[in-house]
Amino acid sequence: MSHKVKEGGSLRIYHWVYMALLLLLALGRLFQKVSTDTGGPASRYLPLMVAVLLALGVMGYVRQRPIFRRHWWRALFWLLSVGWLSLACLTLYLLFALPGGAVAGAGVSALVLLAISPGTWAIYQYAYCCPKLWPEAGPDG
């Protein structure tokens, strides 16, 4: 997703596949949590909310249309970045620090890292590298 996007671009098949994959993974997690009656509201619904926000960010970036406000996307980018770094640390901990290693848990968290990375990059591009999109582009944009 690091390619240059023309003004008013259209979503290509790989964008749709990426967004569908995010939403399917989040819905699968929601279904698993609800069917086993485990976890609280954050554990159940946060993956779906993140997937929807990532999909909206990708859509806004590719189509070069403002959705919400620029500072909102910047804040989301930093929240996702902190979450990404935390999950990367957890992955390394599961893989190397636990006796015998928790390879399955590390594999799942590594897959989550891979899944959210392109969307996080698109949100970064959208919030920081597309100044023409944001009419209120002032000092903090």
| pLDDT digits 0-9 by tens, 18-40 | 999 999 988 888 888 888 888 78
DSSP state of 8: T
> According to the model, what pLDDT value does residue 40 have?
83
pLDDT tens for 106-139 read: 888 889 999 999 999 999 999 998 888 887 655 5
Task: Tell me the two tokens of residue 65.
Answer: 């249309």
Q: Taking all residues of the chain, what is their mean pLDDT, rounded to a whole number?
A: 84
Q: How confident is the model at residue 3 (pLDDT cuts 50, 70, 90)?
A: low
Contact yes or no for 91/72 (Cβ under 8 A): no
- Could you say which DSSP state residue 3 is in? S
Tell me, what amino acid is at 122?
Answer: A
The pLDDT value recorded for residue 95 is 84
How far apart CA 125 and CA 117 sit, in angstroms, is: 12
**Residue 76 pLDDT class (50, 70, 90 cuts):** very high
> Does 82 score more than 80 pLDDT?
yes
Sign of the dihedral through C-alpha 35, 36, 39, 40: positive
The pLDDT of residue 72 is above 60: yes
Contact 74, 137 (CB under 8 A): no
Q: Give the ranges where 3-132 is alpha helix by DSSP (H).
A: 13-36, 41-63, 70-92, 103-128
Q: Tell me the C-alpha distance between 95 and 107, whole Å.
A: 9
Q: What is the pLDDT, as a whole number, of residue 124?
A: 95
